[in-house]
Amino acid sequence: MNYSMVLYILGQILKFESAFLMLPALVGLLYREREGVPFLLVAVLCLLFGLFLTRKRPASSTLYTREGFVTVALSWIIMSIFGAIPFVLSGDIPSYVDALFETISGFTTTGASILTDVEALSHASLFWRSFTHWIGGMGVFVFIMAILPLMGGSTMNLMKAESPGPSVSKLVPHVKDTAKILYGIYIAITLCEVLLLCAFGMPLFDSLTTSFGTTGTGGFGIKNDSIAGYSPALQIIVTVFMILSGVNYTFYFCLLSRRIKDAFRIEEVRWYFCIILVSAGVIAYNTSSLYPTTSETVRHAFFQVGSIITTTGYATTDFNLWPPMSQTILVILMFIGACAGSTGGGMKVSRLVILFKTIRKELSLIIHPREIRKIRMDGHVVEHATLRSTNVFLVIYFVILLISTLLVSVDEFDFTTNFTAVASMLNNIGPGLNLVGPTQNFSIFSVFSKFVLMFDMLAGRLELFPLMILLMPSTWRKK
């Protein structure tokens, strides 16, 4: 294992985090808040650590798959550890464990909070909470690759570890250009939302933080009632952008390069929209008696479906009060998640499509035992390695889900609370059902459970494998 290179990259990460931390410090300055100062201090701290770790370029800059996975997992942990300090120093979140939970929840775009009163927070802290969503959404390594001329071909191993989806492909030949295109689209979508929200009467600060939460599919709101307090028009804008953020970015790249036919031929995107339409339709029908007008029912149905399937976690209504069928649909959507190659979490639509195709293949094999059938996505044959890792992903996923539920159950809450809390963490959504529903928060859990949930959030965001690699003893063994 190339330890010196791993440390070097961790140093680079800290330097970037220092730059990110300057933004909330600036916000603090604008609002003349004392709470901006801790951000500045931690920014300097990160910079010092970063400079120390990057003082010398290591002799060998090669990163193999193992180093890639380890680096990414460690980076996310380190970023969260440092990112949590300002919350404690500013007094907004006195307990460090809670602050860490909040920060990991931010970076992993989960959006689950331990705060009972969000509105009491300083502007600087509110901004940082939402901004972590934005950074974590597209990924910090993708950002670094777009800017730093890092180390040539082997950076692909970093991108592979950070980007969601069963198989990661580049949009254009160079990693750097791919990263630039991804962030270009990301920034464009974010700006569009900010402008639209402002145009429809949301204050600038609110629209910035809301947009960060939407396009990063995070879900931290700056109001206690999430998005429910804003006008219907604003809710509709947020709905649209949530759903857009859950689309595979290859779709936008195809649109940009005028391959419109190709864009709409992406199977995953078609399924994604189908699932949204069908589930929103059923929920609207199922909940029609709860709301006075049809338009309100449809609005709430679409908002909640978009919020859950893209794993954002905003809410406009308390779906704890919905009938069981609608709640079940929402729980299923939690697991499905957004498209691969988007900012969303969950199992990803493309994995499910592959899994269903595998089931069909196996069934067909019983009828025609000698049949040779290849599984295809978008007309291309899916490699055996991809199929295998998709299957393994599913198994690890459920193992983590069950073990975490068991561990969290020591707190003696009811099953729905525990199960949906873990599912919501692992899929990076935010709210669950019952005691962790959209109007509640996660402060009820014990410290132990919080650590379990933090692990689940990171595992979910990094798609299980990087974190599991950290737990393998042979990763660290010196040969």
Partner 1 sequence: MDIIIVGCGKVGHTLVEQLSNEDHNIVVIDEKPEKVQNITDRLDAMGIVGNGINHKTLLEAGIATADLLIAVTGDDEKNLLCCVIAKKTGHCHTIARVRNPIYNGESAFLKKEFGLAMIINPELTAANEISRVFQFPSAIRVDSFAKGHVELLHFKVSDNSPLIHLKLLNLHQTFHSNVLVCTVIRGNDVIIPNGDFEFHAGDTVAIASERHNALDFFRKIGIVKNRVGNAILAGGGKVAFYLAKILIKSGIRVTIIEVDPARCDTLSELLPEATIICGDATDQDLLSEEGLEQAQGFAALTGLDEENILLSLYANDVSNAKTVTKINRSSFNSVINELNLGSIIYPRVITADYILKYVRSMSNSMNSNVETLYKLAGGKAEALEFIIKDNSAVAGIPLQDLHFRKNTLICCIYRNGRVILPGGQDMMLAGDSVLVVLSGYRISDIKEILED
Contact positions toward partner 1, by CB under 8 A?
A: 65, 152-157, 169-170, 172-177, 380, 383
Q: How far is the CB of 383 from partner 1 (least distance, A)?
A: 6
Q: How far is the CB of 30 from partner 1 (least distance, A)?
A: 41
Distance CA 215, CA 168 (A): 20
Helix (H, G, I), strand (E, B) or coil at 164: coil
For residue 413, CA distances in Å to 9, 433, 446 come to: 41, 12, 11
Q: How far is the CB of 381 from partner 1 (least distance, A)?
A: 8
Distance CA 273, CA 263 (A): 13
b vs e for 372-387, b when ≥16 Cβ sit within 10 Å of the residue's Cβ?
Answer: eeebebeeeebeeebb
User: What residues pair up with 381 in beta bridges, in sequence order?
Assistant: 376
User: Contact at 8 Å (CB) between 116 and 441?
Assistant: yes
Q: Which residue's CB is nearer to partner 1, number 367 or number 372?
A: 372
Nearest to 245 by CA among 218, 265, 206: 218
Distance CA 152, CA 145 (A): 10
Q: How far is the CB of 473 from partner 1 (least distance, A)?
A: 25
Q: Which residue's CB is nearer to partner 1, number 371 or number 383?
A: 383
Q: Which residue's CB is nearer to partner 1, number 56 or number 380?
A: 380
Distance CA 133, CA 120 (A): 20
Q: How far is the CB of 161 from partner 1 (least distance, A)?
A: 12
Q: Which residue's CB is nearer to partner 1, number 174 or number 223?
A: 174
Helix (H, G, I), strand (E, B) or coil at 336: helix
Q: How far is the CB of 372 from partner 1 (least distance, A)?
A: 17
Give 294: exposed, middle or buried? Use CB within 10 Å, 0-12, 13-18, 19+.
Answer: exposed
Q: Which residue's CB is nearer to partner 1, number 381 or number 472?
A: 381
Distance CA 256, CA 78 (A): 36
Q: Which residue's CB is nearer to partner 1, number 155 or number 286?
A: 155
Q: Which residue's CB is nearer to partner 1, number 147 or number 406?
A: 147
Q: Which residue's CB is nearer to partner 1, number 152 or number 201?
A: 152
**Number of Cα atoms under 13 Å in the Cβ half of residue 152:** 5
The residue type found at 162 is E
Q: How far is the CB of 234 from partner 1 (least distance, A)?
A: 40
Q: How far is the CB of 50 from partner 1 (least distance, A)?
A: 25
b vs e for 227-240, b when ≥16 Cβ sit within 10 Å of the residue's Cβ?
Answer: bbebeeebbebbbb
For residue 297, CA distances in Å to 174, 229, 243, 322 come to: 46, 16, 18, 12
Q: How far is the CB of 175 from partner 1 (least distance, A)?
A: 6
Q: Which residue's CB is nearer to partner 1, number 383 or number 414?
A: 383
Q: Provide the H-helix boundaries in 31-139.
A: 36-53, 65-89, 96-107, 123-138
Distance CA 238, CA 369 (A): 50
Q: How far is the CB of 202 from partner 1 (least distance, A)?
A: 41
Q: Which residue's CB is nearer to partner 1, number 169 or number 294?
A: 169
User: Contact at 8 Å (CB) between 308 and 330?
Assistant: yes
